[in-house]
Amino acid sequence: MRLELDTFPVTDIVFGSRTAYDNGILELNHDELLSSVMAESNIVAAKLEIGKPGQSTRIINYYDILEPRVKAGGQSATYPGRSGRPVDTVGAGRTHRLGGTTVMSLVDDPSEWAARGWSLDQPEDVPRPGRRNVWSFQRFVDMSGAGAVLPYAATHNVCLTMRPKEGLDSGNRADILHSALLRLSDKLAETTLGLEPPEAEVFDLTTKDPSLPGVVFSCHLASMEAGVGPRSASGTAIYGVTRLSAPWVLGPTEMMDGAVTGGGAHVTWPFTNNPVVEGLCRRHGTSINFLGCIIGRTNWGGEEEMRLAGSRAAQAAKLLGAQGAIITNDVRGRRFVDSVRTVQAYEQLGINTVFLSEEEDNEDGNAPPFLYHPPEMTAVVSTGTGTIGPFPPVDRVIGGVEGVDPAWYDEQPYIHGRYGAAHVRDHYGVGRQSCIDY
């Protein structure tokens, strides 16, 4: 496939009388954009705000984060398959992107936070807007100071806070949140259509040099099918499909166009802006042949299914002609074992692997960095442990329709171990953590 990726850098976002892009400034018509969101009857309240790099701002309760991208011509659409979008194959032609900006969906749902429990402030579960608990405490972005450790601290962020109607099941709720965010993203990205891009990069993987080694990117994504059913909109999706399935083989540029989307535990931005995919694409034809991306599911029911899924991914890589693979996982526990089974399967077929992963909590030096470490796992790159903080006080908090818990303005404590990694969620090397000694 050949994709021309046209970048329109965003240096500032302002509210104004129109929605338009002009020489790095993204202007937003607040009322018009918010009205389009509120046209959805299952959203009972919403708020539109802007978070900028360097501000004393904390963005809380995010559900999904994506970069505004739009196809410049043709029938296909970016982020295919989500919320009724076309499922035509993407990854070719021209795509416009608003570089340096994101759109974020933030969920202000007191009943949801109460249902999840684990309060940081008090033992009883009291529903209230912006309440802090362990789940929501993993999901915030500090835009300045020592806590600005996520890539979104360096982007200009259009923040859409929504309160869904009560009583929705998880699938309908997820679909409504995705649909609203994608409509907003489309409106922003479409401001670039008809304009000449300040930057353009062509990714052309149609030709290969037979003298160079073939490499694949083998990415694992947890499926929520066991908990929400095979047709739910909850969780990560490939062309809109969230269910457990055999490995998918995608062209690298399909990922750049949003063939893989997040929502909930994992957001979309790291898939379209994946540094592993971009890096391998840029090396294609010079030091390697980038043969494709193999997307494997995790959360299988037992050991045999884990081994089978890993074996099929490895067989796909072998059929593509791979001699090497970069393998990633996205969740710990049994999903980590799923991913390691794939490492073993690749190595047993003679395909050299590098495993890219977050580490476990080292428990003050008393625990190993990985839950499981078979002899086939010989080359590993760590993206960190996630242990970060504290997070300094802030002047402003985004993420509540009617305000937030005042505690969100205060200094937030260290996030240690499992929940620290859940805050950073660096599965692909997008973070800023440095190594520590054991």
Residue 4 has pLDDT above 80, yes or no: yes
Has residue 71 got a pLDDT over 90? Answer: yes
Q: Report the distance separating Cα 385 and Cα 426, nearest Å.
A: 9
Element (H, E) at 122: none
Bridge partner list, 13 = 26
CB atoms within 10 A of CB 247: 24
Q: Do 54 and 143 meet the contact criterion of CB atoms below 8 Å apart? A: yes
Banded pLDDT at 65 (limits 50, 70, 90): very high
pLDDT score recorded for residue 120: 44
pLDDT at 146 over 50: yes
pLDDT value at position 110?
66
**Confidence label for 301 from pLDDT (cuts 50, 70 and 90):** confident
Q: For residue 234, what pLDDT band results from cuts at 50, 70 and 90? A: confident
- The pLDDT of residue 331: 73
pLDDT of the residue at 122: 46
Q: Which residue has the higher pLDDT, 375 or 115?
A: 375
* CB of 200 closer than 8 Å to CB of 72: no
CB atoms within 10 A of CB 198: 12
- In whole angstroms, give the CA distance from residue 337 to residue 352: 19
Give the chain's mean pLDDT.
Answer: 89
Q: pLDDT exceeding 70 applies to what percent of the chain?
A: 90
The whole-number pLDDT of residue 435 equals 56
**For residue 219, is pLDDT > 90?**
yes
Contacts of 175 (CB under 8 A, 6+ apart): 83, 233
**Measured distance CA(262)–CA(238) in Å, rounded:** 9
CB atoms within 10 A of CB 259: 27
Q: What's the full length of the chain, in residues?
A: 438
Q: CB-hemisphere CA count at 13 Å for 139?
A: 25
How does pLDDT run across 85-114, given as a tens digit for each residue?
999 999 999 999 999 999 999 999 866 554
In this prediction, residue 347 has a pLDDT band, given cuts at 50, 70 and 90, of very high
pLDDT band at 261 (very low <50, low <70, confident <90, very high): very high
What is the pLDDT averaged over residues 246-253? 97
Cα–Cα distance for residue pair 153/143, rounded to 1 Å? 4
pLDDT digits (tens, 9 = 90+) for 314-340: 999 999 999 999 999 987 778 888 999
Q: What is the pLDDT of residues 24-61, one digit of tens each?
A: 999 999 999 999 999 999 999 999 999 999 999 999 99
